Structure 1
Amino acid sequence: MRKARFQYRHNSALNVIFLLLIGVSFVVAMFLAHRLTEKYVENEFELRKIDVLEETLKPYTEFFQNRVPEISFYQGYLDSSSAIKYVDTVFRKYPFVKKIEFYDTEVSNHRVAGAFRINHFSMAPQAIYDYTRSPTADSIVYNKRKPNSSGSFWNMDEFNNMAAKFSLYVQSIEEGKPLQSADFISIFYHVTHNRITFMNIPREEDMHTYKDLMLKEQEKSPVFQQDIVSFILDPEKLNIRNTHRELYQYIHITPIVYESLNTDPDLLNTELPLTGAFADYKLHFSSSRNHIIREIYHRLVPVALAIVMIYTVLLFIAYLIYRNLNINKKMYSLQYDFINNLTHEFKTPVSVIKIAGNNIKSAKELSDRERFHYGKILDEEADKLNDLMNKLLSFTQIENQSIHIKKERINIPQFIQNLVDSYQIKLPDFKIEYSTRGVTTFRTDPVLLSSIFQNLMDNANKYSLPGQKSLNILVFTEKGNIVFKFRDRGIGIPGNETENVFKKFYRIQSQYNQQGSVGLGLAFCKELINLMNGTISVKSKVGEGSEFTVVLPFEL
Structure 2
Amino acid sequence: MAYNQLRYRKNFGLLIAFVVLVTILFIVAMLSARSMIANFIETEFNNRKVEVFDQSVQPFQEFFNDKIPEISYYQGYLDSVKAAAYVNDVIRKNAFVESVLFYDITVTNSDSIEAGIKYNHLLVYPKNVISFRLDTQNRLVAQRKESTETRAYTEDFNSMVLKFVGFLDRVNDSTRMSDNDIYKVFYTLNAGKVSYMNIPRISDLLAYKQMMSSPDNPVVSYDQDMFLFLINPSKIQIKNVAPNLYEKIEILPIVSGRVTDQRYYFQTELSLPGALSDYKLQYTSSESFLNKEINRRFLPVSVGVSVIYLILIFIAYLIYRNVTINSKLFQLQYDFINNLTHEFKTPVSVIKIAGNNIQSSDKLSTEEQRMYGKILDQEADKLNSLMNKLLSFAQIENKSIKAHKEEVGVEEFCEPIFDAVKLKYPDLNFSYQIEVQNNMMIDTTLLLSVFQNLIDNAYKYSESKRKFLNIDVQQNKKNFVIRFKDQGIGISKKEFNSIFKKFYRVKNQFNQQGSIGLGLAFCKEIVDFMGGEIRVDSVLNQGTTFTLLLPLGPKMN
**Alpha-carbon offset, residue 531 of structure 1:** 2.1
8 Å Cα contact 2:253-2:279 kept in structure 1: yes
**Alpha-carbon offset, residue 523 of structure 1:** 0.8
Give the 5 Å matches for 1:185-334.
Answer: 185-202=183-200, 206-208=201-203, 210-211=205-206, 214=209, 225-244=223-242, 247-258=245-256, 260-261=258-259, 265-292=263-290, 296-297=294-295, 300-334=298-332
Measure the CA separation in 1 of the matches of 2:167 and 2:242.
45
Give the 5 Å matches for 1:494-509.
Answer: 494-509=492-507
TM-score, length of structure 2 as denominator length: 0.84
1:134 is matched with 135
**Alpha-carbon offset, residue 503 of structure 1:** 0.9
Measure the CA separation in 2 of the matches of 1:376 and 1:201.
137
**Alpha-carbon offset, residue 85 of structure 1:** 1.8
Measure the CA separation in 2 of the matches of 1:547 and 1:122.
127
Classify 1:187/1:331 alpha carbon distance in 2 versus 1 (closer, same or farther; 3 Å): farther
1:345 is matched with 343
Give the 5 Å matches for 1:367-378.
Answer: 367-378=365-376
8 Å Cα contact 1:494-1:540 kept in structure 2: yes
1:227 corresponds to which letter in structure 2? Answer: D
Provide, for residues 462-495 of structure 1, a one-character-per-residue CA deviation record: whole Å limited to 9, x for no partner.
3233354442211111242110101123222122
2:92 is matched with 92
Secondary structure of the structure 2 residue equivalent to 1:101 = strand
2:487 is matched with 489
Provide, for residues 359-386 of structure 1, a one-character-per-residue CA deviation record: whole Å limited to 9, x for no partner.
3444445444434333333333333333
Q: Does 1:83 align with 2:78?
A: no
Classify 1:433/1:53 alpha carbon distance in 2 versus 1 (closer, same or farther; 3 Å): same
Equivalent residue in structure 2 for 1:394, among 381, 392, 395: 392
Give the 5 Å matches for 1:164-179.
Answer: 164-166=162-164, 172=170
More deviation in 80-89 or 220-229? Answer: 220-229
1:473 is matched with 471
Secondary structure of the structure 2 residue equivalent to 1:56 = helix
Measure the CA separation in 1 of the matches of 2:488 and 2:244.
76
Secondary structure of the structure 1 residue equivalent to 2:68 = helix
Measure the CA separation in 2 of the matches of 1:236 and 1:545.
93
Measure the CA separation in 2 of the matches of 1:467 and 1:284.
96
**Alpha-carbon offset, residue 453 of structure 1:** 1.5
Measure the CA separation in 1 of the matches of 2:369 and 2:338.
33
2:491 corresponds to which letter in structure 1? Answer: I
Classify 1:262/1:551 alpha carbon distance in 2 versus 1 (closer, same or farther; 3 Å): closer
8 Å Cα contact 2:469-2:484 kept in structure 1: yes
Classify 1:109/1:399 alpha carbon distance in 2 versus 1 (closer, same or farther; 3 Å): farther
Provide, for residues 33-62 of structure 1, a one-character-per-residue CA deviation record: whole Å limited to 9, x for no partner.
554444444444433433443343233223
Measure the CA separation in 1 of the matches of 2:364 and 2:220.
162
More deviation in 300-309 or 430-439? Answer: 300-309
Provide, for residues 152-178 of structure 1, a one-character-per-residue CA deviation record: whole Å limited to 9, x for no partner.
998544344444545565665687886
8 Å Cα contact 2:23-2:309 kept in structure 1: no
Count of residues paired in the alignment: 548
2:76 corresponds to which letter in structure 1? Answer: G
Secondary structure of the structure 2 residue equivalent to 1:258 = coil
Measure the CA separation in 2 of the matches of 1:139 and 1:208.
36
Provide, for residues 416-470 of structure 1, a one-character-per-residue CA deviation record: whole Å limited to 9, x for no partner.
1122334445444445432211335122232332222222122223323335444
1:98 corresponds to which letter in structure 2? Answer: E
**Alpha-carbon offset, residue 328 of structure 1:** 1.9
1:214 corresponds to which letter in structure 2? Answer: K
Measure the CA separation in 1 of the matches of 2:112 and 2:56.
44
Classify 1:426/1:35 alpha carbon distance in 2 versus 1 (closer, same or farther; 3 Å): same
Secondary structure of the structure 2 residue equivalent to 1:323 = helix
2:68 is matched with 68
2:206 corresponds to which letter in structure 1? Answer: K
8 Å Cα contact 1:97-1:232 kept in structure 2: yes
2:69 corresponds to which letter in structure 1? Answer: P
1:53 is matched with 53
8 Å Cα contact 2:128-2:144 kept in structure 1: no
- Name structure 1 gaps, 5 residues minimum: none
- Name structure 2 gaps, 5 residues minimum: none
2:407 is matched with 409
Measure the CA separation in 2 of the matches of 1:95 and 1:269.
27
8 Å Cα contact 1:439-1:475 kept in structure 2: no
Measure the CA separation in 2 of the matches of 1:373 and 1:75.
144
Measure the CA separation in 1 of the matches of 2:506 and 2:58.
84
**Alpha-carbon offset, residue 542 of structure 1:** 2.6
What percent identity do the matched residue pairs reach? 42
Classify 1:219/1:550 alpha carbon distance in 2 versus 1 (closer, same or farther; 3 Å): same
More deviation in 241-250 or 90-99? Answer: 241-250
Provide, for residues 298-334 of structure 1, a one-character-per-residue CA deviation record: whole Å limited to 9, x for no partner.
5555554554444444433333332222222221221
Measure the CA separation in 1 of the matches of 2:194 and 2:298.
46
Measure the CA separation in 2 of the matches of 1:181 and 1:412.
115
2:144 is matched with 143
Classify 1:435/1:128 alpha carbon distance in 2 versus 1 (closer, same or farther; 3 Å): same
**Alpha-carbon offset, residue 186 of structure 1:** 3.8
**Alpha-carbon offset, residue 344 of structure 1:** 1.8
TM-score, length of structure 1 as denominator length: 0.84
8 Å Cα contact 1:112-1:124 kept in structure 2: no
Q: Does 1:356 align with 2:354?
A: yes
**Alpha-carbon offset, residue 547 of structure 1:** 0.8
Please provide the CA RMSD for this pair.
Answer: 3.7
Give the 5 Å matches for 1:13-28.
Answer: 13-14=13-14, 16-21=16-21, 23-28=23-28
**Alpha-carbon offset, residue 281 of structure 1:** 1.6
1:550 corresponds to which letter in structure 2? Answer: L
More deviation in 166-175 or 185-194? Answer: 166-175
Secondary structure of the structure 2 residue equivalent to 1:539 = strand
